[in-house]
Every structure is written in C-alpha cells, then in structure tokens.
Amino acid sequence: MENINFDKVHHLCMENKWDLVINEYRHLLYTKRERETEFIEIKLEYGKIWVSVPLSNSVYQYKTGFNDYYSTNAYLESRIMVSDR
C-alpha cells in the first residue's frame, strides 16, 4: 500500500471484500468483489483529500472532500462498514 495514512482503511477494505486496483500515493481505488461497478476512491489533489463512495441501493457515487487524514479516515471507516450491511 503506497499511502500509509490510509492503512486502517486499507485493512477494513480488504476484510470487507474490496480489492485495491489503483495503488498510488495520491490515488487509491477499491472495487467491490461481487459488484465491480461499485468503488471507493481516494484522491489527493488541490490541497484536499477527495473521496468517492457508493450510495446504498443506487448506481450513483457520493463525492466529498476533507482537509485532513483523520476526518477522511473516520468518514471512510464508517462508510465501509455501512456498505457491507
């Protein structure tokens, strides 16, 4: 895993059947094993951390930005757990 700031998120993804398909320091992309069109994306650009997560029961994604790793990790951890219910 290139960006160790998301190590806990990475392990949660792996435990919940998300596969890492892009592994770069400024860009991480996970796809769901059984549903390859669902993805979690993390991008560092323009001084922010942008994340995109699948919306429940929808074909759409929700994208939001954070200013720090702590807030980003907290948000992603909650979304990973919700998406697997």
Q: Are 10 and 21 in contact (CB under 8 A)?
A: no
If you search the block for the tokens 């980003």, which residue do you land on?
72
Q: What is the mean pLDDT of the chain?
A: 91
Distances, alpha carbon 53 to alpha carbons 31, 80, in Å:
10, 9
Record the tokens describing residue 16, joined without a space.
Answer: 């919940």
Say if residue 19's pLDDT is above 60.
yes
Angle, helices 7-15/69-83, rounded to nearest 10 degrees: 10
pLDDT in tens, 42-76: 999 989 999 999 998 888 999 999 999 999 999 99
The DSSP letter of residue 55 is P
Higher per-residue pLDDT: 34 or 73: 73
CA distance 10 to 1: 8
Domain ranges of the chain: 4-83
**Predicted TM-score of the model (pTM):** 0.90
